[in-house]
Amino acid sequence: MKAIGHVEFGGPEVLHPVELPDPVPGPGEVRIRVRAAAVSPTDTLRRSGVNADEMRSQEVPYVPGMELAGVLEEIGPDTDTDLSVGDHVMGIVFPLGSHGAYSEQIVLPSDSVTRTPAGVSDVAASTVPMNGLTARITLDALELVPGQTIAVTGAAGTYGGYVVQLAKAEGLRVVADAADEDRQLVKQLGADIIVPRGDEVAERFLREVPGGVDGLADGALLNEKVVGAVRPGGRLVTLRNYAAEPVNGVTFHPVRVRHYVRDRPRLDRLRELVEAGKVTPRVADTYPAAEAAEAHRRLARGGTRGRLVLTFND
């Protein structure tokens, strides 16, 4: 089968087509014919060598990609699943120790896969699993209850947008940031209050919520710059392993989606929310898989709203 991978770390130019053996599902696994694979900042970081020490134990070529959608081709022996061959499915993969989603075929544990939402294309469905589950683990870590207030930075991004939508689905009040050109988007996602984005966003949140918000999801990676927006005893969720000691009673909670990659009930709940119109897949653009390097360059330039998606054809 064809895949897009790299044998060394570096810029987008290290990505190139590679040939790999067709994968065979074992017990508890399924094989998917990939139609679409979303491109994430995590893919670009790993390609550049940020996790090089972890990845060097993996067989080369390295194949990026954490989320995908396609058609279920084969079910391995002794696999307990209600899925059937021919179903359109979406799935999540953590590509350390295994090849990622930039490939024509992939084998995944059956509990990392669920049906694509009814009426949603493979391209759109491929943008749901990784960011959707990261948003889910964020809300689980914040432990908020209906009526409480969550702040979201980077709300116009894919992760931030899913946090906003999941928070509204759970009855939370949402305060979010946005650039002028993104205010309408963030409003459509469901934010109750929108403030200008930037390094001073904590002060802007406090002007809207005196005393501080109950929890904060930091999609903009501002880290300690936003801790002042959270009330004493509140929680702040961070990405990319940022951790710190509590500040004024506010605790930091780094989240990693790897903890939910084999949690089909949560993945299936995302499918239900998409079908109900409460979570909106967002596609910024598509590229043929062979143009993965250009998709990585486009992502690095910034300004995309939604995911860039690689497409595969038979």
Encode pLDDT of 257-308 as tens digits.
Answer: 988 999 999 999 999 999 999 999 999 999 999 999 999 999 999 889 999 9
Condensed to tens digits (0 to 9), the pLDDT of residues 178-204 reads 999 999 999 999 999 999 999 999 999
Find out whether the peptide bond into 61 is cis, omega within 30 degrees of 0.
Answer: yes
15: left (phi over 0), alpha (psi -120 to 50) or beta: beta
Output the DSSP codes for 250-300.
Answer: BEEEE--GGGGTT-HHHHHHHHHHHHTTSS---EEEEEEGGGHHHHHHHHH
pLDDT score for 287: 98
pLDDT (tens digit, 9 = 90+) per residue, 42-85? 999 999 998 777 777 677 899 999 999 999 999 999 999 999 99
- What is the value of pTM for the model shown? 0.94
Exposed, middle or buried, 79 (CB in 10 Å: 0-12/13-18/19+)? middle
Secondary structure (3-state) at 31: strand
Please report, for the chain, the start and end positions of each structural domain, with discontinuous segments joined by +: 2-128+281-311, 131-258
Question: What's domain 2-128+281-311's architecture?
Answer: Alpha-Beta Complex (3.90)
Answer whether residue 210 shows pLDDT above 70: yes
Q: How far apart are CA 160 and CA 168, in angstroms?
A: 12
Domain 131-258: CATH superfamily is NAD(P)-binding Rossmann-like Domain (3.40.50.720)
- Contact criterion met (CB below 8 Å) for 32 and 114: no
Residue 62 DSSP label: B
Mean pLDDT of 1-6: 95
Residue 313 — pLDDT band, cuts 50, 70, 90?
Answer: confident
